[in-house]
Amino acid sequence: MSSESQEPPLSSEAQSKKAAKKEAAKQEKLRRKQELAAATAAASNLSVEDDPLAVNYGFVPLIEIQSKTPVDVNEWTRVEALDDSVANKPVKIRGRAQTIRPVGKKMAFLVIRENGFTVQCLVQAQPEAVSPQMVKFAAALSRESIVDVEGVISIPAAPIKGATQQVEIQVSKLYCVSKAVPTLPINLEDAARSEVEIEKAIQAGEQLVRVNQDTRLNFRVLDLRTPANQGIFRIQSQVGNAFRQFLLAESFVEIHTPKLIAGSSEGGAAVFRLDYKGQPACLAQSPQLHKQMSICADFGRVFEIGPVFRAEDSFTHRHLCEFTGLDVEMEIKKHYFEVMDVVDRLFVTLFDSLNTNCKKDLEAVANQYPFEPLKYLRNTLRLTYEEGIQMLKEVGVEIEPFGDLNTEAERKLGQLVLEKYGTEFYILHRYPLAVRPFYTMPCYDNSNYSNSFDVFIRGEEIISGAQRVHVPEFLEQRAQACGIEVKTISTYIDSFRYGAPPHGGFGVGLERVVMLFCGLNNIRKTSLYPRDPLRIAP
């Protein structure tokens, strides 16, 4: 007999109730199925050819969607704009048939979705307006098909629970622009279901479909249509926009650097190496080298938003290999704190922007993946690496004095910082030099430490930054000490021989920022089409 704890057996009364509930659910599903079959059968003898109102519905011929006739796009109203201000007015919308519910042979309800907003539409047979054949057409549409709907807006007496817009369209015309396959590989209702809902169903003795992460990624185009995913990537868009707008306002110049380089930008084993017409090359782990060269080219302050490639990253718990980097480089006058000052202002502005401009998107994400709003200070907390180590030591976590923090230690420190300072966003600076890239400037008072910093959200690193070495001879020494062939980065080092100002910068992981701000548990949730050693499609 197993020594593991066993669930206590259900009493006969509880088993009976559970069985009765299951049977009731089964009968209800059967009833709905029979109702749908009856409605379909009743309408099956209706012929479109015999319908004088056939012009009001049907599939749009290919020739009509080959840009045959220019039209005024203002003929269409966005679903988002449908409210009681357009009551009793005719409208035309385009969207996806999210749900289709026939009610007998003379009535069908459609819920049409456009960019996350939904509206209920009623297709009801009426003499000289809507034929039973049109109702049949509506009922037979495949879910997720693209349709054009024309009709008049009405205000229902009771609230509509299944749609975001609290109006209803009395349909007069219905055209299918693009037909979806009858059976979708994943059901959007299943894909949008939260773990909380699934667990509640299990406790109630019911079984709900759980769509796993690999299945989601295999059918990513469908998975991305869920409200939570729509929210995630709209939030991500806002992060990129806020990042760009803040830096442009601070006199930064946006640049675009090559992603194929001759030598490693950071060193180490996490490099994608390849043959480039007989020459060794690799994909850029960051735009680091070219950011610094651009500072040498007198741009003063630069930033880039673009892809970076890493062969491994313990943060992901599996080896995700393509990210979106938000990278910054700037001249400094005296101290690397000048770079940290930009980080402080940038991220407080960014978080404020998300909380103000993405309320609906954050709510959509939280409905499926519940999370607490991020706690952050108006003036970002700064701790030295030694102070962080001391906080960990006080609770029994031992760290090598000149080693790096592992993921577990970073998370623990995040908990301690939250308890002591009331923030989930903070900066840890003056890291040991041994754990930083070759181009990092050592501290003036102790060469075991460096003028560098990491930034954390909810105990996870999102930023790595530092003052850079801008003295070419010293840079060569540092590269050699880190095992990098100097000749592979000679053009980079040479750029400092022509006069280079003191400078520093940082790199941010876009997917990390969104994942941690939204309290998500997997970085693949914030990567639009993830790429890793096991996935290069879709």
In a structure prediction context, what are the per-residue pLDDT tens digits for the chain, which is 538 residues long? 333 333 344 455 555 656 666 666 666 556 555 544 444 444 444 556 689 999 999 999 999 999 999 999 999 999 999 999 999 999 999 999 999 999 999 999 999 999 999 999 999 999 999 999 999 999 999 999 999 999 999 999 999 999 999 999 999 999 999 999 999 999 999 999 999 999 999 999 999 999 999 999 999 999 999 999 999 999 999 999 999 999 999 999 999 999 998 866 555 556 788 899 999 888 888 899 999 999 999 999 999 999 988 754 444 444 557 889 999 999 999 999 999 999 999 999 999 999 999 999 999 999 999 999 999 999 999 999 999 999 999 999 999 889 999 999 999 999 999 999 999 999 999 999 999 999 999 999 999 999 999 999 999 999 999 999 999 999 999 999 998 889 888 999 999 999 999 999 999 999 999 999 999 999 999 999 998 778 888 9
Helical H runs in 155-207?
188-191, 195-203
Q: How far apart are CA 192 and CA 229, in angstroms?
A: 9
Give backbone dihedrals phi and psi of 11, rounded to 5 degrees, phi first: -70, 160
Q: DSSP letter string over 82-148?
A: -SGGGTT-EEEEEEEEEEEEE-TTSEEEEEEEETTEEEEEEEE-BTTTB-HHHHHHHHHPPTT-EEE
Known catalytic membership, residue 338: no
Structure confidence at residue 60 (pLDDT):
96
Active site residue 503: no
- Phi first, then psi, for residue 350 (nearest 5°) are -60, -50
Question: Rounded to an integer, what distance in angstroms lies between the CA atom of residue 227 and that of residue 164?
Answer: 11
Catalytic residue check, 318: yes
**Three-state DSSP class for 266?**
coil
pLDDT of residue 30: 61
For residue 72, what pLDDT is reported?
93
Beta-bridged to residue 124, according to DSSP, are 107
First to last CA, the chain: 47
Clarify whether 464 is annotated catalytic.
yes
Residue 319 annotated among the catalytic residues of the structure: yes
Query: Residue 272's pLDDT is what?
Result: 81
pLDDT at 532: 78
The two structure tokens encoding residue 419: 């308890």
Q: How far apart are CA 403 and CA 392, in angstroms?
A: 14
Cα–Cα distance measured from residue 264 to residue 286, given in angstroms and rounded to the nearest whole number: 9
Active-site annotation holder among 114, 150, 410, 461: 461
**Catalytic pick from 286, 464, 495, 527?**
464
Write down all domains in the chain, each with its CATH number in brackets.
73-178 (2.40.50.140), 188-223 (no CATH), 227-526 (3.30.930.10)
458 is catalytic: no
128 belongs to the catalytic site = no
**pLDDT on residue 88:** 95
pTM of the model: 0.86
Active-site choice (78, 318, 335, 497)? 318
3-state secondary structure (DSSP) of residue 535: strand
Predicted local distance difference test score (pLDDT) of residue 24: 64
pLDDT score recorded for residue 273: 84
How confident is the model at residue 284, as a pLDDT? 87
Catalytic residue among 35, 144, 312, 338: 312
Phi then psi for residue 432, to 5 deg, are -60, 135
